[in-house]
């Protein structure tokens, strides 16, 4: 075999936390200890070999890279301190940039050097939109008590669509739309290259219904149940943080959809439904419980990350910490804005709400390039694994 190592790829792995790669001497302890490794597939040993050889194209088309849950079992038992889990994490970070679109934004989100722009871009966008809305003032205490943040971007006489919702929809819709489109392009590219690498017909696609029923839905159920997370031993506490975090996002999504439906559809016919949800409203209770679960989950993940760095000498990387602080910012500013509304402090409340919008926009806009992207890439890898193992995949 003629191997042409990609030296830039190897350097990027070292920068993203895979600097221990050179210590690996292929003893296969990692594959023996990994609870997700299967017979005939020496995971993650083969990934360590490919990484040492600089075989970038093999790694970014390998579904096992995305199926790794970074539980720490391989790292804790590695006799050489090669930290296979950290290496695979670095490979995933590289893959999100490799598949990322547009490329300049993907590269910007891959390093702490781009952090000022990553924060500054949403700040400028939301501030400019606030200026354009004409709502350049803080509300009175009475207005704040009555409307909360529902007039942050002002009001207009057009009753069928609130001005505040219009501006938020433009900002967040565009950010999320760009993020999801980038994810779609990345996953489509990854799926084609994985099919080609596995010897499958990359241009053949199963029927949508069949794909959902046989491959996608079982993968989603397995992910929601956290079955593979629970197989890990060294870092089993991650389930206590990851699961409530995932459920918190689901809960907040449900509350957001209901709030929009209540205010901007039902509220058109029953004006009394306009305004913030009361504390006793079931959806408000769900929102508060979800916010607390989000903060609890991110605290557990933060604690586990610090423990891994202290006990396993895991390298602190921008890739790992950026998402942790980003989600923490969403939860803290969201809950803080609500507390300030209860306290009747409109000026500070509006400032915190502004920061909340900034943090949410960052979460949406940089979704394809951060660790949050594993939500989509890992799900796709799950589905591809089932597709590849099926008779359908083998004969495609």
The whole-number pLDDT of residue 263 equals 76
375 and 224 Cβ atoms separated by less than 8 Å: no
The position carrying tokens 């029923």 is 213
Can you give the C-alpha Rg of the chain in angstroms?
23
DSSP-assigned beta bridge partners for residue 38: 41
Q: What is the pLDDT of residue 235?
A: 66
Q: Which of 156, 159, 153 is nearest to 132 (CA)?
A: 153
Alpha-carbon span 376 to 291, nearest angstrom: 22
The pLDDT of residue 261 is 86
pLDDT in tens, the chain (396 residues): 566 677 778 778 877 777 788 889 889 898 988 888 777 667 888 999 898 888 898 999 999 999 888 877 888 889 988 889 889 988 999 999 999 999 999 999 988 999 999 999 999 999 999 999 998 889 999 999 888 898 999 999 887 888 998 999 999 999 999 999 999 999 999 998 998 888 886 566 778 888 899 999 999 998 888 777 777 766 666 677 888 889 999 999 999 888 888 877 887 787 777 777 788 889 989 999 999 999 999 998 898 888 878 877 777 888 889 999 999 999 999 999 999 999 999 999 999 999 999 999 999 999 999 989 999 999 999 999 888 887 555 554
pLDDT score, position 196: 86
**Which ranges constitute the DSSP H helices of 34-140?**
45-52, 56-60, 63-67, 73-77, 84-98, 103-108, 115-133
With a CB cutoff of 8 Å and minimum separation 6, the contacts of 314 are 17, 75, 83, 86, 305, 308
Closest by CA position to 171, among listed 369, 359, 332, 370: 359
Q: What is the DSSP string of 107-127?
A: HHTTSGGGHHHHHHHHHHHHH
Length of the chain: 396
pLDDT score for 393: 54
Question: Cβ–Cβ contacts within 10 Å for residue 199, how many?
Answer: 10
Cα 279 to Cα 123, 249, 309, 341, 372, distances in angstroms: 30, 20, 40, 12, 31
What residues does each domain of the chain span? 7-98, 103-395
């Amino acid at each position: 075999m003629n191997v042409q190592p990609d030296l830039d790829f190897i350097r990027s792995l070292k920068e993203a936390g895979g600097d221990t790669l050179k210590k690996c001497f292929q003893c296969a302890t990692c594959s023996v200890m990994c609870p997700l490794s299967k017979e005939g597939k020496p995971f993650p040993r083969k990934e360590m070999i490919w990484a040492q050889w600089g075989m970038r194209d093999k790694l970014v088309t390998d579904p096992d890279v995305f199926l790794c849950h970074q539980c720490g079992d391989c790292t804790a038992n590695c006799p050489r301190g090669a930290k296979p889990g950290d290496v695979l994490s670095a490979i995933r970070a590289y893959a999100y940039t490799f598949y990322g679109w547009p490329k300049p934004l993907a590269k910007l989100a891959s390093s702490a050097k781009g952090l000022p722009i990553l924060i500054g871009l949403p700040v400028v966008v939301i501030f400019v939109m606030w200026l354009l809305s004409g709502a350049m003032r803080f509300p009175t205490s009475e207005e704040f008590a009555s409307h909360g943040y529902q007039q942050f971007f002002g009001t207009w006489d057009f009753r069928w669509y609130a001005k505040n919702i219009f501006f938020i929809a433009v900002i967040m819709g565009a950010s999320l739309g760009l993020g999801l489109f980038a994810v779609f392009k990345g996953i489509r590219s990854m799926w084609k290259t994985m099919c080609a690498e596995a010897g499958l017909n990359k241009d053949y696609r199963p029927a949508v219904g069949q794909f959902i029923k046989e491959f996608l839905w079982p993968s989603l159920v397995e992910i929601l149940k956290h079955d593979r997370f629970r197989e890990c031993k060294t870092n089993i506490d991650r389930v206590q943080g990851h699961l409530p975090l995932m459920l918190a996002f689901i809960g907040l999504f449900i509350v957001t959809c209901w709030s929009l439906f209540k205010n901007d559809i039902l509220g058109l016919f029953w004006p009394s439904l306009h305004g913030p949800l009361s504390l006793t409203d079931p959806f408000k209770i769900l929102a508060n419980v979800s916010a607390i679960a989000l903060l609890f989950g991110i605290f557990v993940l933060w604690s586990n990350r610090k423990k891994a760095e202290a006990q396993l000498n895991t390298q602190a990387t921008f890739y790992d910490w950026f998402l942790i602080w980003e989600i923490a910012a969403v939860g803290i500013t969201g809950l803080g804005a609500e507390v300030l509304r209860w306290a009747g402090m409109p000026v500070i409340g509006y400032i915190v709400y502004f920061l909340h919008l900034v943090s949410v926009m960052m979460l949406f806009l940089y979704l394809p390039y951060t660790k949050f992207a594993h939500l989509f890439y890992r799900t796709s890898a799950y589905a591809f694994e089932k597709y590849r193992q099926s008779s359908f995949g083998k004969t495609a």
